[in-house]
Amino acid sequence: MSFKAVVERIRKDVEAYQSETRSPIYLALNENPYPFPEELIRQCFESIDPSKVNLYVDSPSKEFLKELVDYLSTDSWRAREEQISVGNGADEIIYVLLLMFKDLSIYVFPPTYSCYEIFANALGVKVNKVPLRGERIDTKTLKGLLNEDCVVFLPNPNNPTGHLFEEEEIFWLLKTKALLILDEAYFEFSGKTFAPLIEQFQNLAILRTFSKAFSLASQRIGYIVANPSLIDAYNRVRLPYNVSYLGQTFATIALRNKRIFQERVRKIIEERERLKNALRSMGLKVNDSKANFVFVYLERERTERVYRALLKRGITVRKTEFGLRMAVGQPKQNDLLIETLEGSL
Amino acid sequence: MSFKAVVERIRKDVEAYQSETRSPIYLALNENPYPFPEELIRQCFESIDPSKVNLYVDSPSKEFLKELVDYLSTDSWRAREEQISVGNGADEIIYVLLLMFKDLSIYVFPPTYSCYEIFANALGVKVNKVPLRGERIDTKTLKGLLNEDCVVFLPNPNNPTGHLFEEEEIFWLLKTKALLILDEAYFEFSGKTFAPLIEQFQNLAILRTFSKAFSLASQRIGYIVANPSLIDAYNRVRLPYNVSYLGQTFATIALRNKRIFQERVRKIIEERERLKNALRSMGLKVNDSKANFVFVYLERERTERVYRALLKRGITVRKTEFGLRMAVGQPKQNDLLIETLEGSL
C-alpha cells in the first residue's frame, strides 16, 4: 500500500475529534468551572527555575512523584514511587495502554467515556462493547467472556452517567482476572477510590487526572497507579518526556495547596445536588451522579430539542444517544441552566 | 496471550529509555546552553489567562498557529494553517507517524537519531536500516528499494553527525516517491530548510522543534509541516489536546521575540566553529557539523577512554558506536571541554 493510500484510509476511517464550539456557558467537557487560582499561578512562576526550562526534565520529576505518593497514600496504605507513572493527560495513558494491549480482547461498557473508542479507532485497535444493563455491569453476558486475556476500561464514577458502580461489581470484574483499567478521573467528586487495592490485585490499574478537581485541563497531566511491572512496561512504551516541566510544576503546587481545591470540590458537589433536585422536580429522569456533572436520560428527539433550546441561550451541553450530560457550572450558570430547561420542557 | 504475558514481553523486548545522568557540564542531549530568558518568562506569566488554565485549549491554538505561519513563511512562500500541526515535542510526531505508517516499509540511515528506532521498538514497528556510506546516502542500495510504499525518516542536519545532506541527495530521495520525513530539529543552526518544497512534493514532511534554538526542551513543543491531507490524517491519529496551553504560550512568545534566540544561535554557531577548530588542531577527525553539537569520529576503545576522562571532570557527552557527540555549551564549558580533551588524548 502506498503512503498516500494510508493517508486516505485514515481520513476516511478515522473520525476527526471534535468538541462542541465554545459558547458563553460551556458545560460540554466537564471542566472545572473555577479558574486555577491566580495566587497559585504566581507561586508556580516563582518556583520555575529558568535554567531548567531549556533542559529535558524527568517525567515524572522526583518532586512531583513525591507529592503524588503523599496524595495517594491513606491511613492504612502507603503508595510507592514504582507504582506510579504519568501521562500527557490521562488520555495519553489510555492511548498507550490501548497500544500495549492491542492484541488482547479489549472491553468497554457503553454508555462510557467516548475517548476509549475514539482512540482505539485512531489506532486501529478493536474494542468489544457490552452495554450496561440499566446502570449495572452485564455480568451475565460477561461471565463467559472475561479472563486474563482481556482488558476492561471502566470509568468510576461512570461517564457520561456519573454514577458509581457497586463495590461488588468492581470485585466481580477483578475476580475474572481481566486487567481492569479503572478510570477515576472524577474521584475527587465521588470520594471513592480503589487505589489501595493494587496491592492485592495485580490486574488493577487506576487512572487519575489533574484536569477536573485541580482546574488544570489545559496543562495535560494524568497519572496511573498499578503494580510496578505494569508501570515499568508502560514507561517503556510511552514517550520518555511526556509531561512538561511547567505542567509538573503546576500539578506539584496544586497538590501542596490541595485544600483550596477540596473547598471548590465541596462547592461543586453542593451545586450538583441542587441541580439534580431542580431537574428531578421538573419530572426529568436524572441519575445519582457522583461526578462534577449530571446526566439526564431523554429520548432522542427530546434530547435534540432541549439541546437546541439550551444552545439558543448560549449554553452548550454534551449530547449523547441516551440523553444530555451537563457539567456543573458556577452557581449563576446553573441558575440559567435550570431556568432554560424549565422553559424548554 | 494473557495481559501479564504482554507486560513481561514488553519488559523483555523494549529497552527502557535512559539518558546519561546529569553532571555539572551536561552536553549529552543537545540542549540549548542558555536558559529561557527571565524577561520572557515574566511576559508568559502576564499573558496567561487564569480562566483558560482550567479549560481544554485547542492544540494548536489560533494564536500559536498564526505565529507558526509567519515564522515558516519566506519571501517567496507563504505557509498556510492547514499545512501545519503540532506535537508534544517533535518526538510525539515521530511516534504518531510510526503508528500511521507501521504497515509500510520504514527506512532510517544510521548513524541517525536514535529515537526513530527506540520508538519503533516500543511500538513493535519494523524499521529497515541502510547505513550511510561515509556521510552520504547509499543511493546505490536504496535505488531498488524505495518507492511510494516506503517512509524515510532523515534528520537534516543529521544527528549525531551534524552534517547537512547535499541538496541532490534530498531531491534524489523525493524522486523515489517515498514519503520523506525530514527532521529539521536543528534548522536554526544550519539555516537550511526544505519547508517551501512541500508545495511541490506531496511526499515531503518537515519536522521542527522548540527544544533546541528556542531553549524550550522542558515544554515539549514540536511541529510538522506538510500537505494538508497528511496533516489532516496526523490530526486524526494523534491525541486531540497534545500540547499544553502554557507550552503554546511560551512558544508563541518565543516566536514574537525570535531576535533574542537568533542572537544566541549566532553565539552557539561561533562556539561550534571554535570547538571544531580546537578539536581538529588536536588531530581529531571532526566533521562539518551545522547543528548545535559537534561529532568526533573515534574508534570504539578510544571513544570509551575519552568518554571516561571527560566524565571524571564532570563533563557528560553522548557516546555512540562511531564516536562522541558533544553539544556546544557556554564558552567556559567549551573551554573546559577542550582542555580536558587535550589532556585525555
Residue B159 shares a structural domain with residue B134? yes
pLDDT at A37 over 90: yes
A233 close to B (CB below 8 A):
yes
B345: confidence class by pLDDT, cuts 50, 70, 90: confident
Instruction: Round the average pLDDT of chain A to a whole number and report it.
Output: 97
A69, A83: one domain? yes
* Contact A38/B at CB under 8 A: yes
ipTM of the complex as predicted: 0.97
Q: Which residues of B146-184 are buried (b: 16+ CB within 10 A; e: fewer)?
A: bebbbbbbbbbbbbbbbbbbeeebbebbbebbbbbbbbb
Chain B hits for A15, CB-CB cut-off 8 Å, are 236
Based on the fold, state whether residues A248 and A102 are members of the same structural domain.
yes
Measured between CA atoms, the residue of chain B closest to residue A45 is B45
One-letter amino acid of B108: V
d(CA A235, CA A111): 30
Q: Which residue, B256, B290, B315, sits at the end of a domain?
A: B256
Query: Do residues B104 and B247 both lie within one domain?
Result: yes
CB atoms within 10 A of CB B297: 15
Select from B104, B218, B237 the Cβ nearest to the Cβ of A245. Answer: B218
What's A137's domain CATH number? 3.40.640.10
Q: In what order do the strands lie in the sheet with B222-225?
A: B84-87, B222-225, B204-209, B179-183, B150-155, B105-108, B128-129
Residue A6 lies in a domain: no
Interface of A with B in 242-301 (CB under 8 A): 242-247, 250
B-chain residues within 8 Å CB-CB of A1?
Answer: 103-104, 149
Chain B contact present for A64, CB below 8 A: no
Q: Shortest Cα distance from B248 to chain A (angstroms)?
A: 10
Mean pLDDT value of segment A193-217: 98
Q: Are residues A266 and A210 in the same domain?
A: no
The residue of B18, B40, B117, B220 whose CB has the most chain A CBs within 10 angstroms, and thus the best one to mutate to test that interface, is B220
pLDDT score for A345: 78
- A95-154 residue pLDDT tens: 999 999 999 999 999 999 999 999 999 999 999 999 999 999 999 999 999 999 999 999
Residue A1: inside a domain: no
Answer yes or no: do B216 and A33 touch at CB < 8 A: no
Q: For residue A5, list its beta bridge partners.
A: none
Using the Cβ of A215 and the Cβ atoms of chain B, whether some distance falls under 8 Å is answered with: yes
**Is A239 within 8 Å of B34 when comparing Cβ atoms?**
no
DSSP A119-176: HHHHHT---EE---BTTB--HHHHTTT-STTEEEEEESS-TTT-PPPPHHHHHHHHHT
Are A187 and A163 spatial neighbours (Cβ–Cβ below 8 Å)? no
Question: How many angstroms separate the Cα of A262 from the Cα of each of A183, A209, A230, A247, B103?
Answer: 20, 15, 30, 20, 48
Distance CA B251, CA B67 (A): 9
DSSP letter string over B8-21? HHHHHHSPPP--PP
Is A89 part of the contact surface with chain B (CB cutoff 8 Å)? yes
Q: How many CB pairs under 8 A join A and B?
A: 248
Domain boundary among A212, A234, A256: A256
| Residue A117 falls inside a structural domain | yes
Closest Cα in chain A, distance from residue B88 (Å): 7
Select from B89, B217, B241 the Cβ nearest to the Cβ of A89. Answer: B241
Number of compact structural domains in chain B: 2
∠ Cα A194 A200 A205 (to 5°)? 50
CA distances to A297, A299, B87, B196 from A285, in Å: 5, 11, 42, 57
Q: Residue A77 above 90 pLDDT?
A: yes
> Which residues of chain B neighbour A101 with C-beta distances below 8 Å?
3, 6
8 Å CB contact of A123 and B237 = yes
Q: Is B24 on the interface with A (CB under 8 A)?
A: no
pLDDT exceeds cutoff 90 at B159? yes
Q: CB B285: neighbour CB atoms within 10 A?
A: 11
Please report residues of A whose CB lies closer than 8 A to that of B17. Answer: 235-236, 240
The pLDDT > 90 percentage for chain B reads 98
Interface of B with A in 185-214 (CB under 8 A): 202-203, 211
| In a shared domain, residues A61 and A25 | no
**Calpha distance B23→B20 (Å, rounded):** 9
Q: CB B3 to CB A119 under 8 A?
A: no
- Contact residues, chain B, for A19 at CB < 8 Å: 56, 240
* Mean pLDDT (whole number) for B214-232: 98
In 3D, which of A77, A122, A74 has the Cα closest to residue A96? A122
Taking the CA atoms of A237, A247, B53 and A223 in sequence, report the sign of the dihedral they define.
Answer: positive
Residue A182's beta-bridge partner residues?
A154, A206
Q: How confident is the model at residue A344 (pLDDT cuts 50, 70, 90)?
A: confident
Please check whether residues B95 and B240 belong to one and the same domain: yes
- Single-letter amino acid code for the residue at A100: M
Q: Do A4 and B91 touch (CB under 8 A)?
A: no
A166 located within any domain: yes
Are the Cβ atoms of B241 and A91 closer than 8 angstroms?
yes
Both A274 and A252 in one domain: the answer is no
The C-alpha cell that represents B156 in the structure block = 537534516
Q: Do A53 and B236 touch (CB under 8 A)?
A: no
Q: Which residues of A touch B16 (CB under 8 A)?
A: 232, 235-236
Q: Provide the shortest C-alpha distance from residue A182 to chain B (in Å).
A: 15
Strand order across the A323-327 sheet: A285-286, A293-297, A323-327, A318-319
Question: What stretches of chain A show up as alpha helix (H) in DSSP?
Answer: 3-13, 38-47, 50-53, 62-72, 90-100, 114-123, 139-142, 167-175, 187-190, 228-237, 245-256, 258-281, 300-312, 331-344
A239 and A307 in one domain?
A: no
Shortest Cα–Cα distance, A173 to chain B (Å): 15
Same structural domain, B94 and B137? yes
**pLDDT surpasses 90 at B160:** yes
Q: Are residues A296 and A247 in the same domain?
A: no
pLDDT for A12 equals: 98
Q: Residue A88's pLDDT is what?
A: 98
The verdict on a CB contact (< 8 Å) between B236 and A6 is no
Interatomic CA distance for residues A317 and A324, integer angstroms: 7
A11 touching chain B per CB within 8 A: yes
User: Please, which residues 148-167 of chain B have a Cβ atom closer than 8 Å to chain A?
Assistant: 148-151
Whole domain around residue B272: which residue ranges? 3-30+259-344
CA distance B226 to chain A (A): 12
Where is the domain boundary, B235, B256, B277?
A: B256
CB pair distance less than 8 Å for B237 and A150? no
pLDDT range class, residue B344, cuts 50, 70, 90:
confident
Closest chain A CA to residue B53: A218
CATH number at residue A292: 3.90.1150.10
Are both A113 and A243 inside the same structural domain? yes
> What's the average model confidence in pLDDT over B282-290?
96
Closest to B210 in 3D by CA, of B92, B101, B328 = B92
